[in-house]
Structure 1
Amino acid sequence: MKFSKIAILLIVLTLCGGTLMFADAATQKVRVILNGSELDDNGLIVDNKTYLPLRQIANGLQAIVSWDNQTKKATLYKPNVHMILFQDKVVFGNVDKGNRYTFNVLSQIDNLTTEVSAVKVSITDPNGTEKVIQSQSVNITKDNFWYRTEDIKYNFEFAGKYAVRFYMKTSAADEWTVVSEKLITSQ
């Protein structure tokens, strides 16, 4: 009796293991490199079709992903966002470490093919600390607009790269998506 239970258990485990080995052989992992950096999630090849991690690719391309659960459809939007940094009326991008600057960010957005409910501009220091420059609810339904922040006084206390980022939300319930980034070098 004991022997038959062990034999049945071994047969079941063998069948499960064989099925898992077959499933693993039917799919292949794919390394995904985007702009020179490997993504955390791998792609897969299943039945000669390649499946890629859309959310990570969209983040790398600074694009918005919209998911419609009812129709099971993912839509990718990539607006053109150009940012110019102004100190008074002078454009700038490199700063001296330890100095405090007053500046604002002018953003030109075009090729916008989805509605936007909010925008945000922030600056992140080389250590990863983010400060919001300005955040605002908007109701944008056209394909282009301009957005200028108020003046911000900011101390560039560390040497390195500071990232000024432009974010969008398509609805109030969505998460912020980075759609543009400009780097300031502090030396």
Structure 2
Amino acid sequence: MEALLVSTGIVALAEIGDKTQLLALLLAARYRKPAPIVAGIFVATLANHFFAALLGQWITSLLGPDVLRWILGVSFIAMAAWMLIPDKLDDDARVFDRFGVFGATTLAFFLAEMGDKTQIATVALSARFDTLTAVVAGTTLGMMIANVPAVFLGDAAAKKLPVRLVHGIAAAIFAALGVATLLYPLA
């Protein structure tokens, strides 16, 4: 349960103001069809985070607990610093228009998540908690919590969020996870 809750919370906070949230706003403004956009976000996130969590599990199988603990601890602290750097969105989504709303959303989101903060966090969380299902469910839920309102409420609501504060809170959580991982052996 801890893996699910921590994964959900971290990703939901990390996603505020992230490029994929900006992509959700862009797609909502362009297509004005929320159902296929939300479905595309879900499918893309589930696939992307499943593969990221598998990578985290594989890394866990290769490394001893002490080495893994140090790598994860430093990675979480690095994620805390990365959270404080604002994201920008390149408007490449038009390339996918020929796939329809669902297809364009799925492809754009899957590719936008490659190497993104939340994908890297999913790898680290999966290695830390060693429970693929709970981590994937949590990170996917976190993405949906952050992106579905962006699709439905649009740009006006996104502009009212204190993005710097939210990113600061997410950075603090990542830093705390990093310190806790360094101080306490993995379970």
Shorter-chain TM range is under 0.3
Q: Of Structure 1 and Structure 2, which has the larger fraction of its residues in strand?
A: 1
Q: Which has the higher contact order (CA 8 A, sep 6+)?
A: 2
Q: Of Structure 1 and Structure 2, which has the larger fraction of its residues in helix?
A: 2
| Structure number, greater radius of gyration | 1
TM (norm. structure 1) is 0.28
TM (norm. structure 2) is 0.28
